[in-house]
Structure 1
Amino acid sequence: MGSRMVPLLALAAAAFCYVATETMPIGILTLIAGDLGVSAPAAGLLITGYAVLATVTTLSVAGLYAAFTYTEILLTAVTGFAAAAVAPLLLARGVADFAGIAAGGYASDRWQRGAVTGSVAVLAVSLLAMYATAASRPVTAVLLAVTGFAIGALTPALQNRVMEVAPGGTEMASAGNSVAFNIGIAAGSLLGAAVLQESGARATALAGGLLSAAALLLFLAEPLIARRTPEMIRT
């Protein structure tokens, strides 16, 4: 029982840090508005936009890790790969991850919203496709690499977007997004464990895909949730 509580306590501690980071700006809203030279309502919308992005980070990372944590089980028990094939497949995924980082950084320098939208969309589609085609070895191998590329591209794209909408200091905003990322890892792994126990390894890809799809919908709605006024546009 004690060993089971450790990850839950870690998740609770991370959630506390996350909530503290996200809610602290509310108490210093006037100071943030003064530093930015905008009105308090405009500063409030900036904080809302940042909170949306942090939530997108948590949902998309949770979606990935709900499936990725149990990839070995999926590959061997569902798809039918031999245990010896798992390491090369994960290596290929890692290479795709590095390629995604380069692509995401390049794209986000030129089109921030498009880079985030495309990365989350590719992640969601690839996870849902893994669920649908889990019995096919070639397709699953390709999709596994695609998930690596997608999360690699999403990391710099989200970070650049967070820096753009960060209310006040970028150091705190970056730290908050890092906390959101780690909460996504922990929450996704816990959710994946529950899905694995109830519905099997294949369903972890479905759960991950649905979480990533929710992240995509939330990000697409961000302009409506946190409308930016002319005084909020930074030069």
Structure 2
Amino acid sequence: MTIVKPVMPTRAWTPRIALQLAVLAAAAFVYVTAEMVPVGALPAIASDLRVSEAVVGTLLASYALVAAIATMPLVRLTASWPRRRTLMVTLVCLTASQLISALAPNFAVLAGGRVLCALTHGLMWSVIAPIGARLVPATHTGRATTAIYAGTTLALVVGNPVTAAMSELWGWRQAVAVVTVAAAAVTTAAWISLPPMPLSDDEVDAVRAHGRHHRHRGLMTLSALTLIGVTGHFISYTFIVVIIRDVIGVRGPHLAWLLAGFGIAGLTAMALMARPSDRRPKASVVGCLAALVTAFAVLAALAGAHTWGVATIAVGAAAIIVWGAASTAMAPILQAAVMRSAPDDPDGASGLYVTAFQIGIMAGSLLGGLCYEQAGLPTMIGASAVLVAVALAGAAATRGLVATTR
């Protein structure tokens, strides 16, 4: 028996749809905040569990690795589930993982809790954007995806600094406990506010046949360019604090303000690019990549000059702001483009995109560390510029890469 899909809303942005998108954004906020807790709480975790800071640092790379490996198998396993049920499973796992982490008596248990969260991280991102797209007309897919991704940026601007401050003031376990409560609240809100969203038999077959995506040239090209671009971004982003401190010469409280500026620029850029991402998606992608290349080129030049001063701070700070704006705005544009490229299976296409993104995070972090240790900051930032330039050339040269829905 074929399940009939729910009727698409006639109005693009009703109060109910706005509330549902806000819940999805909150889920993204909590998930990313939980993922990045070890960054701000690293010294506290190391001291409490009596392990080195380097060991605690492996929690991030291992998280990305697990997410990359688990995403596509879980997308196929949950193919026949209503979309709300799939999202609920990921949020329940998130809540449980944070509870386990908060109560962890040793590093092994903490790592186990993180694995539980990482297992469903990619699955969450493979369904959350398609859920948002199902709530609105096809002409508003990019805007709905951008609204959800606002939660990710808020996690970087608000969630991570707040959990880091709580770790310093109260202890890392208390910070993780707060994240646990937030995750439980979002889980409840998602269950109450979102419709079940069952899939038709044709949609289930499409998700289960996601292995055929390797024959979809546009989707594979988008995923490959995403992998290259994300790798280039994370080579330097992993060491953004070092870049701000040692290249631009900004330290202390001013460093924190510049990091906040990075995130605020991202939020602003996402809002400004929401409508163009629907109307001119390819131009939006190319523009963001070009801005990223420019920012990295400027920072690489400053790193090679080894000079500090008012001009260096002004130019370097501007490059950081451009970096934050372009890198943050590009993620929802790419995911919306991926879903458009495979309209018969947006969930499976998103799963492939998320896998490429997670591999890019892991590869970028590892390559960034290698470049930083072996060749220094100018080479490291230059490597980011080169890889993003490759992604830019590929996006600009490929015809029909990003479909437009009007």
- Give the Cα–Cα distance (whole angstroms) in 2 for the partners of residues 126 and 171 of structure 1: 33
Residue 345 (structure 2) aligns with: 169
For residues 68-127 of structure 1, what are the alpha-carbon distances to aligned partners after superposition, in whole Å with 9 as ceiling and x for unaligned?
111111222233222332100000110001012112322111101111111111111211
Q: CA deviation at 1:45?
A: 9.0
Q: CA deviation at 1:179?
A: 2.0
Residue 23 (structure 2) aligns with: none
1:35-46 equivalences in 2 (<5 Å): none
- Give the Cα–Cα distance (whole angstroms) in 2 for the partners of residues 131 and 12 of structure 1: 29
- Give the Cα–Cα distance (whole angstroms) in 2 for the partners of residues 51 and 68 of structure 1: 25
Q: Equivalent of 2:319, from 135, 139, 143?
A: 143
Q: What secondary structure, in the 3-state scheme, does the structure 1 residue paired with 2:344 have?
A: coil
Q: Give yes or no for contact 1:124–1:209 (8 Å, CA) kept in 2.
A: yes
For residues 176-226 of structure 1, what are the alpha-carbon distances to aligned partners after superposition, in whole Å with 9 as ceiling and x for unaligned?
2122222212211111101100111233221111111111112223328x7
- Give the Cα–Cα distance (whole angstroms) in 2 for the partners of residues 160 and 168 of structure 1: 14
Q: What secondary structure, in the 3-state scheme, does the structure 1 residue paired with 2:294 have?
A: helix
Residue 208 (structure 1) aligns with: 384
- Give the Cα–Cα distance (whole angstroms) in 2 for the partners of residues 102 and 233 of structure 1: 19
Residue 221 (structure 1) aligns with: 397
Residue 39 (structure 1) aligns with: none
- Give the Cα–Cα distance (whole angstroms) in 1 for the partners of residues 271 and 328 of structure 2: 8
1:133 and 2:306 matched: no
1:107-122 equivalences in 2 (<5 Å): 107-122=276-291
* AA matched with 1:203: T
- Give the Cα–Cα distance (whole angstroms) in 1 for the partners of residues 393 and 377 of structure 2: 25
TM-score normalised by the chain length of structure 2: 0.47
Tell me the percent identity. Answer: 27
- Give the Cα–Cα distance (whole angstroms) in 1 for the partners of residues 261 and 227 of structure 2: 25
1:82-101 equivalences in 2 (<5 Å): 82-101=251-270
- Give the Cα–Cα distance (whole angstroms) in 2 for the partners of residues 69 and 46 of structure 1: 33
TM-score normalised by the chain length of structure 1: 0.77
* AA matched with 1:68: Y
Distance change (3 Å), C-alpha of 1:74 and 1:110? same
Structure 1, gaps ≥5 residues long = 22-30, 36-42
Structure 2, gaps ≥5 residues long = 1-53, 75-201, 207-211
Residue 81 (structure 2) aligns with: none
Higher RCO (CA-CA < 8 Å; seq separation 6+): 1
RMSD (Å), alpha carbons? 3.4
Residue 179 (structure 1) aligns with: 355
For residues 23-69 of structure 1, what are the alpha-carbon distances to aligned partners after superposition, in whole Å with 9 as ceiling and x for unaligned?
xxxxxxxx99x98xxxxxxx989711101101111111111111111
Distance change (3 Å), C-alpha of 1:196 and 1:107? same
Q: Equivalent of 2:221, from 40, 52, 60?
A: 52
Structure 1 stretch 187-196 or stretch 132-141: which is displaced more? 132-141
* AA matched with 1:121: A
* AA matched with 2:324: G
- Give the Cα–Cα distance (whole angstroms) in 1 for the partners of residues 387 and 61 of structure 2: 20
Structure 1 stretch 169-178 or stretch 6-15: which is displaced more? 6-15
Q: Give yes or no for contact 1:101–1:153 (8 Å, CA) kept in 2.
A: yes
- Give the Cα–Cα distance (whole angstroms) in 2 for the partners of residues 126 and 201 of structure 1: 14
For residues 117-158 of structure 1, what are the alpha-carbon distances to aligned partners after superposition, in whole Å with 9 as ceiling and x for unaligned?
111111112111111134411111110010010012211221
Distance change (3 Å), C-alpha of 1:48 and 1:107? same
Structure 1 stretch 187-196 or stretch 69-78: which is displaced more? 69-78
